[in-house]
């Protein structure tokens, strides 16, 4: 568990410093007597050799995580898997990849060129997971990618890092409903992702989720610094399965809308 904590501490540092500076405020708003439980994080990549989902999963597998579910997002051309650790206190990990081969020839060429810039060996050590972008690009390239796939633009601009952490609503004393958490956040000036409704999922699918809209963060492009959507914060309430344990998986229809937390 020590190695799990070390990795998540590093992911949290990168997430709050680089992708979602408002996360510290959300964390403070919701923290009660006990430290907040992080339900899961999510990571994004391209399904190209050397940077695919499996490559991002490897450092988690190395510390005991196991693949536990697969998800398809046809419209967005994404494939995802989630990973769990034998210790239930360890956060789950949701990793998705863009199916680059299904995208336009232009997008494929651009993304291949970005990935070619990665220094030899940079993806071997798990530190790449919280090390940010391993290639350079200009703002027009980002815009072109984002026009075809918001997801492709996001990965191209930010590189590797947790795009969200997730507060476990089950743990909170003060709130039982995801809508109550949303109200507190709105009251403090945050914008909630309304795609598909402010709460995604239902007790029937054993998972309810909501999220903030991503912070706008400054990113250095080769032709200057621009402000674009970075990371966001998620809130998840899990329901008991028939076996008496909390549902541990994700819900594709809900995840499809959570992805949109990084839309412009
Ligand atoms: C992941 C979106 C899915 C969830 O909890 O369903 C997700 C992402 O935005 O990369 O996090
Ligand atoms: Ni999530």
User: Distance between the two ends of the chain, CA-based, in angstroms?
Assistant: 37
Structure confidence at residue 130 (pLDDT): 98
CB atoms within 10 A of CB 254: 20
Confidence of residue 264 (pLDDT cuts 50, 70, 90): confident
ipTM exceeding the 0.95 mark: yes
DSSP letter (8 states) at residue 123:
T
- Residue 83 Cβ < 6 Å to ligand 1: no
- Residue 258 Cβ < 6 Å to ligand 1: yes
Domain that holds residue 115: 2-262
Query: Mind listing the pLDDT tens digit for each residue in 43-62?
Result: 999 999 999 999 999 999 99
Which of 38, 42, 70 has most ligand 1 atoms within 8 Å of CB, for mutation?
Answer: 42
Q: Which residues contact 231 (CB under 8 A, 6 or more apart)?
A: 15, 19, 20, 23, 161, 162, 163, 164, 214, 215, 217, 262
Closest atom, ligand 1, to C-alpha of 236 = 5
Phi, psi of 251 (to 5 degrees): -125, 115
Phi, psi of 246 (to 5 degrees): -65, 140
For residue 226, how far is its CA from the centre of ligand 2 (angstroms)? Answer: 26
Burial category of 46 from C-beta neighbours within 10 Å (exposed 0-12, middle 13-18, buried 19 and up): buried
Closest atom, ligand 1, to C-alpha of 251 = 6
Number of independent structural domains in the chain = 1
Query: Mind listing the pLDDT tens digit for each residue in 182-228?
Result: 999 999 999 999 999 999 999 999 999 999 999 999 999 999 999 99
Residue closest to 197 by CA, chosen among 221, 179, 184: 179
Query: Mind listing the pLDDT tens digit for each residue in 1-14?
Result: 899 999 999 999 99
Domain containing residue 224: CATH number: 3.10.180.50
Phi, psi of 78 (to 5 degrees): -125, 150
């Amino acid at each position: 568990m020590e190695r799990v904590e070390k990795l998540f501490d590093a992911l949290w540092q990168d997430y709050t410093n680089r992708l979602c500076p408002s996360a510290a405020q959300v964390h403070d708003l919701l923290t009660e007597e006990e430290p907040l439980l992080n339900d899961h994080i999510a990571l994004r990549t391209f399904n190209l050799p050397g940077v695919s989902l499996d490559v991002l999963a490897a450092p988690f597998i190395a510390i005991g995580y196991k693949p536990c579910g697969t998800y398809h997002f046809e419209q967005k051309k994404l494939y995802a898997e989630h990973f769990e650790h034998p210790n239930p206190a360890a956060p789950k990990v949701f990793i998705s990849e863009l199916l680059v081969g299904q995208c336009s020839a232009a997008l494929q060429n651009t993304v291949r060129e970005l990935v070619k810039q990665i220094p030899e060996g940079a993806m071997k050590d798990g530190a790449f997971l919280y090390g940010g972008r391993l290639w350079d690009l200009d703002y027009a390239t980002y815009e072109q990618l984002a026009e075809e796939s918001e997801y492709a633009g996001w990965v191209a601009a930010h590189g590797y890092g947790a795009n969200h952490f997730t507060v476990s609503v089950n743990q909170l004393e003060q709130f039982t409903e995801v809508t109550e958490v949303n109200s507190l956040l709105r009251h403090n000036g945050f914008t909630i992702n309304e795609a598909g409704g402010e709460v995604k999922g239902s007790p029937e699918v054993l998972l309810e989720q909501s999220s903030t809209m991503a912070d706008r963060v400054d990113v250095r492009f080769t032709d200057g610094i621009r402000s674009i959507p970075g990371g966001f914060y998620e809130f998840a309430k899990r329901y008991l399965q028939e076996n008496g344990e909390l549902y541990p998986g994700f819900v594709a229809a809900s995840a499809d809308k959570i992805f949109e937390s990084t839309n412009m």
